Each structure stands twice: as structure tokens, then as C-alpha cells.
Amino acid sequence: MTDLSLYRNIGIFAHVDAGKTTTTERILKLTGKIHKIGEVHEGESTTDFMEQEAERGITIQSAAVSCFWKGHRFNVIDTPGHVDFTVEVYRSLKVLDGGIGVFCGSGGVEPQSETNWRYANDSKVSRLIFVNKLDRIGADFIRVTDQVTKVLGAKPLIMTLPIGREDTFKGVVDLLSRKAYIWDETGQPENYTIEDVPADMVDDVEMYREQLIENAVEMDDDVMMAYMEGEQPSDDDIKRCIRKGTLELAFFPTYCGSAFKNKGMQLLLDAVVDYLPTPTEVNPQPLTDEEGNPNGKYAIVADDEPFRALAFKIMDDRFGALTFVRIYSGKLNKGDTVLNSFTGKSERVGRMVEMQADERNELSFAQAGDIIAIVGMKNVQTGHTLCDVKHPCTLEAMVFPEPVISISVTPKDKGSTEKMGIAIGKMVAEDPTFRVETDIDSGETILRGMGELHLDIKVDILRRTYGVDLVVGQPQVAYRETISMPIEDSYTHKKQSGGSGQYGKIDYKIKPGEANTGFTFKSSVVGGNVPKEFFPAIEKGFRSMMGIGPLAGFPVLDVEVELVDGGYHAVDSSAIAFEIAAKGAFRQSMPKAGPQLLEPIMKVDVYSPEDHVGDVIGDLNRRRGMISGQEPNTTGVRIKSDVPLSEMFGYISTLRTMTSGRGQFSMEFSHYSACPMNVSEAVIAKEKEKKAAAAK
């Protein structure tokens, strides 16, 4: 058995363009995994191996890579930074034990870094902070650490200080050992010398070292008492205290450097070994029942436990379907049969591989703490639990946000139709936030996703990877409907034909429900006017109608139905009769209950240089946005607002034009809210036109 204390499962996450992929590349170079370094801006990096990634210089899929450093095995996952792919980050954090948050030395804490940091807090992942790009103009290490404190509410523990600024940046001082690491200009990571601290930095080094020790000793009462009495703690004691504080998320050890220029990376790798948790030090994953409620049991990381693993990503490539799994407990041998607790079906594990980005090594055995890929699993999707056949269990289910934007796609010729069907099937299995449905009226295929870029890339993959010629329609917003006033009503369904007929009478109240409750049904029938056994049928009838609203046929949200009375016939009443009565009641009463159109509102976070703030706010107001706050920082202002999605199409090009290319924004779904009258009328008229055209 391999020693789990030598394992580190880590992820690298950050805002777009902070240098995650470059950092991963450098880690691979230093650990001897690759010999030539691929550059992102040349489209040659190891982990961004999709064509779309190379072209756009962004990471879309999380890639898993294994490498070794000082006898320790690292499983590194490079995650995307772009807002449309946050779900990839969320999935990766679920299976990681520790992470490295990368921040740009000049950009600091950017909008997306905040979202990712919040996800990592939710998943209780221990992290190191790496302030990258210190060779850039405007880079300032201390300013970025202050931002981390202010914006993220986190406590950075400064471990290294930079030597030189911007283009004179040449190395770092390690505060613990009081040694300066200075690199030459060749850009080779191994070409460095260890020297004494430069004379002009001695005071700063002592000050920050003092702060470091004071924060670290708080984690151990004995060491702290000795320190208070004037005794200097040993380096081993300090490291032990830092490790404890990192695991408890009391602070985050912070390093600096330039990944692109290969400066400061070794110290970061040493820190992963010294301070990030092993698989056994993380809180074990809780097991849940089928509904997702914890049952008090845990997946203990040990090889004598039953096998439990979580599938966190599906990827399809030229070798077949790969299912990435994190093994939480037990072990897995090639040829074992495992149970998928979601589907209740068992599958045989034919081939297991360890991933080196695009390369793979065959495995015959894996154990708790490993992250591997299994080839050729049939019915496994993201978030499914694989477990021992004799000990079925469910690990925590993953929750994914609902898509908010859709486009229609039509294949250009018959040959492409079949191709498209197969390709889309594979893509849906890979990405749980990507949905596909067929429009009943027009027969068009509708793709739904998290944002314009998300769908843009999906169409690109269909065209290029699968060779499907498509005609793409305009992006559509996922509207919803609700009601604004309560109504009491009655409905009777009766039908008499030879033999037994159908009879069901219901008296009911329909009223607006609480926000985000969907559909709720309750009954206050007293006596036996409607027998209890028919309640499920009535609920089913109402619920089945929620998909098509009275205004324009959009799904209905937040409605509460209460059954107050009714009547039945001893012979003619049946579950079907009451179900039909409920459907008729819905059709009859909904138009009377003040139906309203709801539109998705997005949480928009815009970063703008100071001189353009007025223009940006004016533009957001024109888009019916509500400004919720402004935060000035040294390089510009962050404006937070709530804006309807329908007004946000093509926003990035407007923002770039307004801010001379310096503005950035991120947006995520916030909630549904009522549409203004003029917007609502235009949407309803358009929908009716569409339906009339389809009916011809």
C-alpha cells in the first residue's frame, strides 16, 4: 500500500487570465513531467488541449495531471476561470483536498476570484495563495494581500517577500529561513542562487517575519506561552503551527512570484508539501440517503473500508468515454464490479488510467485518495456515486444551477441530424449545466446553457469536433410565469358514456406562493367529500400543467394550490377523473389569477477604470439595471448591480468600447422577477407570432 501521507490532491483556481494554466505548466516542468514548456498565449499548454482552449487562450474543461515533488505525489487539477464555466470549478472543489488560489499581481482580486473563493469556502478547502505576475507593470504584492483581506475577508499569512518591483523583479525572500532566492534571466527554474537578504530589505523582512510568527503561534498554546516569555520557537514548531492553521482555514499561507518567468515556484511546491492536507486529514465525506439528507455515516479514507467513489466529470475523447472519479474509501482493482447507487445498476471496471493531461498510463489498482479515470462506463453521469455492491451508499449529491439562456440549432442537411443527436448526447453527459430539448411546436432543437460564451463554445465543439453543419438562431431568454392574486374557484369533470362514467368535482384556492418554492399543494378537505386516495391524482394533475403557463406558454413558478372541498361519485369517480378535473381547473383559473411574466435577473459584477465609471453606470441604468454597490480600489471601481438577462446580450463588446478595452465583468443568475408591462407585452406578442408561424 502506498503511504497516503505522501499524497496531495490539489486544484488551481483563479480569475480569467491570472495565470492558472501557466502555473500548472511550471509545476509540471519543475517536477520533470514535461521538458518543453508550452505557453498559453502560443496555444501550446499541456492542460489546455482542446482546440477551442488553445484558440481563445482560456481553460474550459478541468484537466487532471499527476506528478511528483520531493517524494510526494501531486494530483493537480487546472480549473477554468471564466464565469460561464464556474460549474467546472465547483465540481473540482468537491473532490480536492487543498487548493492554490492564484491572483494577478496587478489586477488583484477580480470578480471571478471572489465567486471561486466563495465556492472553496463552502467546500471547506484549505488553500495557499500565490500572487502571480509580479514582473508586470503596476504589480504590487502588498496591495493584493490587503485586497484579499478586504474583499474576500480572508487572512493572508505572508511567507515570502518579492525582491525588486515590476521589470526589476528578480527573486523572493523566504521569511522563515531569512534567505533570498534569486533567479537569473535565462527563465530556467533551476538557475537560482541562495543569498543573504539584501541590505535594504532587512527591516521589512524582520517586521513581516515577526507578524508571521505571531499569527502562527496562536495555533498552539504551549508554543505561544514560550514565545510570550521571550523564547524563539524553532522552525519545525512554526511549520507545525502554520500547517494546523492552514488546515483549520484560520489563515492562508501567501507566496509571490512570476510563473511565466519561473521565479518563486519551488517555494510554492514546498508549501504544498508542508502545509496542504493529505487525503486522511480532510473531514471525511458524509454519506446521504436517496433524498440527499446525511445519515450520520462517513466515507473514511482507508483501504480496508468498503469502496466508495464520486464521479465528478465525464469526458469523451478519441479513446472512448472517460469517467473521472475520486476514490474516498476502499480500493479498486481492474475487473471489479461496482454499483452506481443513482441508477441501481452495476458496472464492471474494464480499464483504469491515470491522467497526465492528454496522455494516460494504464493502472491495475487504485486506492482511497486517488483521482483516476475509468474507461468505457455506460450509464454514469456527473455526481453519481460508485460503491461496493454489498455496501450501497450515496455520497453528497451535486447541485447544479438552472440554465438561463437558450439558442435554437438546426442541422443544414439530413446527414448532420443523426450526427448532431449523438454528439449532443455525449455533451450533455459531460456537462450537467448544458441541457437540450426539442420545441414541440416548431420541432427545433433548443440548447440551454449558462451564458453566451458557454453556448458559443458548445456550437463550436459541434461544428469542429463532431463536424455538424448548423444554422444557429438568436439567443433566447428563459422566461417564466406566475400569478399575482389569489382566486377561489370550482371545477367539475363529468363524462357519461355506456358503462361507468367519469366524475370528479373539486373546490380549490390558487394563490401566489413564496419566491423560489415552485409548486406546493395542500389539502384542507374535512369529512370525506373527496377521499384521500384521490389527493395524489389531483396534485399530479395540477403539477403536470405547470410546464405551460397561460400567457405565452412558459413554465409556471411559485404557485400554491389548496384543495378545500369537492364531491365524488361512488361508482364513477376514479383517480383519472380527478386528474382531468385538476387539469381543467388549472386551465380555467390561471388566466383569472392575474398572470405575470417573470424574467431572469443576473447578478452583474463590472470592473471599470475610474474615468469611465459614469458611462458604465449610465449604460447599466439604460439596461434596466439596479446598482447595488460600488467598491473603489487602486486600479478602478467595481460596480455591483442586478440586471435582466434580456438586456445583457453582447454586453462585453459595449463595455470594452466604453472603457477602451480595460473593463471586465462577470455575471451569474440571481433570481426571477416580474417583467415591466411593455417588455411583457412584447415578449408575449413575439411568442404568439412564433406559434402561429409554426402552426402554418
What is the structure's pLDDT at 422?
A: 80
Give residue-wise pLDDT tens across range 465-514: 777 878 887 777 888 888 888 999 899 888 876 667 788 888 898 888 88
Tell which residue, 289, 176, 288, 164, has the closest CA to residue 243: 176
How far apart are the C-alpha atoms of 638 and 102, rounded to whole Å? 20
Q: Which residues contact 71 (CB under 8 A, 6 or more apart)?
A: 6
- The one-letter amino acid code at 622 reads R
First to last CA, the chain: 69
Q: Which residue has the cell 501557466?
A: 22
Question: Cell triple for residue 21?
Answer: 494554466
CA-based R_g, the chain, Å: 29
What are 669's strand-pairing partners?
602
CA dihedral 65, 70, 73, 74 (to 10 degrees): -40
Residue type, 320: G
Question: Residue 376: what residue type?
Answer: G
| DSSP letter string, 320-372 | EEEEEEEEEESEEETT-EEEETTTTEEEE--EEEEEETTEEEEESEEETT-EE
Number of CB atoms found within 10 A of residue 571's CB: 10
Is beta strand 7-14 parallel, antiparallel or unpaired with respect to 98-104?
parallel
299 touches 293 (CB < 8 A): no
Would you say 182 and 170 are in contact if contact means Cβ atoms under 8 Å apart? yes
> What pLDDT is stored for residue 358 in this prediction?
53
The pLDDT of residue 351 is 84
| Segments of the chain with pLDDT less than 70 | 1-2, 14-64, 78-92, 111-112, 115, 187, 289-296, 316-320, 355-359, 396-402, 404, 439-443, 497-499, 633-635, 661, 696
**Phi, psi at residue 81, to the nearest 5°?**
-105, -15
Q: Is the dihedral of CA 55, 56, 58, 60 positive or negative?
A: negative
State which amino acid sits at residue 416: S
Smallest CA-to-CA distance from 420 within 473, 466, 475 is with: 466
Q: Which residues pair with 100 in a beta bridge?
A: 12, 128
Neighbours of 363 (CB within 10 A): 17
- pLDDT score of 626: 92
pTM above 0.75, yes or no: no
pLDDT at 142: 86
Tell me the pLDDT tens digit for each residue of 518-547: 888 888 877 777 888 888 888 899 888 888
Instruction: Provide the β-strand partners of residue 445.
Output: 409, 438
CB 137 within 8 A of CB 192: no
The DSSP code sequence of 148-217 is HHHHH---EEE-EEEES-GGG--EEEETTTTEEEEE-TT--TT-EEEEEPPGGGHHHHHHHHHHHHHHHH
Predicted pLDDT at 441: 57
What does the alpha-carbon distance between residue 109 and residue 139 come to, in Å, rounded to a whole number?
A: 12
Q: What is the DSSP letter of 665?
A: E
Q: Produce one character per residue of 516-544: b if its CB has 16 or more CB atoms within 10 Å, e if not.
A: eeebebebebeeeebeeebbebbbbbbbe
pLDDT tens for residues 306-358? 888 888 777 766 556 778 888 888 888 888 888 888 778 888 888 888 866 45
Q: Answer for the pair 137, 106: CB distance below 8 angstroms, yes or no.
A: yes
Q: Which of 155, 200, 202, 195 is nearest to 179 (CA)?
A: 195
Residue 692: half-sphere exposure toward Cβ, Cα within 13 Å: 6
Please tell me whether residue 96 adopts helix, strand or coil conformation: coil
Q: Which residues pair with 483 in a beta bridge?
A: 595
27 vs 354: CA distance, rounded Å = 18
Q: What is the pLDDT, as a whole number, of residue 635?
A: 63
The CA-atom distances, in angstroms, between 635 and each of 609, 631, 652, 662, 683 are 7, 11, 20, 11, 40
Tally of residues, the chain = 696
Name beta bridge partners: 69: 72
List the alpha helices (DSSP H) in 380-521.
Answer: 414-430, 452-464
CA proximity to 584, closest of 501, 503, 479: 503
